[in-house]
């Protein structure tokens, strides 16, 4: 099987990011300068069976938005590059993950088309932003927007319950990891589409 890895460097006036991804596993070490986000990336990698290292410096003196968004962009680009032709992958993935009071369900389709549906019952994730420590809860959505747009895949996120914001976010990242783990798994030798390409 070909090497399914990618390395991305993204440097702007707001961020400087170096990211390495291995779809078939490896160590994970994430240092973005945003502690809660590092914790979530660790969950994504661990439950996704991914090798993932991120070293990021950003204008966190402004806020965490640019760093989180740009890591999402870089990770989406790395995912697309590491998948290559997508020959033999499962393509679809789903996971339902409880985290104490919270429940998250994530479905993905590595279709080559970007779409995000984000349905989280706790309004603190979109309508009434709140803080998880110092982390803006709205940034979970912003990360997923950047990731799906640049990874060019469908992602449906549902969190029908959960009062503790940390628990809701953690359940989402764990479920996303597990859904991606299923979707990137090689189970055949053809591109899983009637079009012959994804």
pLDDT in tens, 108-124: 999 999 999 999 999 99
Do 198 and 114 meet the contact criterion of CB atoms below 8 Å apart?
no
Domain boundary assignment for the chain: 5-184
Phi-psi region of 133 (alpha: psi -120 to 50; beta: other; left: phi over 0): left
Statement: residue 41 has pLDDT above 90: yes
Statement: residue 1 has pLDDT above 80: no
d(CA 65, CA 153): 22
Strands 131-132 and 135-136: what pairing? antiparallel
**What's the whole-model pTM score?**
0.98
Q: What angle do CA 44, 15, 125 make, to 5 degrees?
A: 50
pLDDT of residue 194: 93
* Beta-carbon contacts of residue 153 (< 8 Å; ≥ 6 apart): 79, 108, 109, 110, 111, 112, 113, 114
**Residue 129 pLDDT level (bands cut at 50, 70, 90):** confident
The CATH superfamily assigned to 5-184 is Imidazole glycerol phosphate dehydratase; domain 1 (3.30.230.40)
């Amino acid at each position: 099987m070909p090497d399914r890895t990618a390395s991305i460097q993204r440097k702007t006036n707001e961020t400087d990011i170096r990211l390495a991804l291995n779809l078939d596993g490896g160590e994970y070490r994430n240092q973005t300068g945003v502690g809660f986000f590092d914790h979530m990336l660790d969950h994504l990698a661990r439950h996704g069976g991914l090798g993932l290292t991120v070293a990021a410096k950003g204008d966190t003196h402004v806020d965490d938005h640019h760093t989180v968004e740009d890591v999402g962009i870089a990770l989406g680009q790395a995912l697309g590059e590491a998948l290559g032709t997508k020959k033999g992958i499962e393509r679809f993935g789903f996971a339902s993950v409880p985290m104490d009071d919270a429940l998250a369900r994530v479905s993905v389709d590595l279709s080559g088309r970007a779409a995000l549906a984000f349905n989280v019952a706790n309004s603190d994730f979109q309508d009434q932003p709140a803080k998880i420590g110092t982390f803006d809860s709205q940034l979970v959505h912003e990360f997923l927007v950047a990731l799906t747009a640049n990874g060019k895949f469908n992602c449906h996120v549902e969190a029908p319950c959960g009062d503790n914001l940390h628990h809701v976010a953690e359940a989402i990242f764990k479920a996303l990891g597990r859904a991606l783990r299923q979707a990137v798994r090689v189970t055949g030798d053809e591109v899983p589409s009637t079009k012959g390409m994804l």
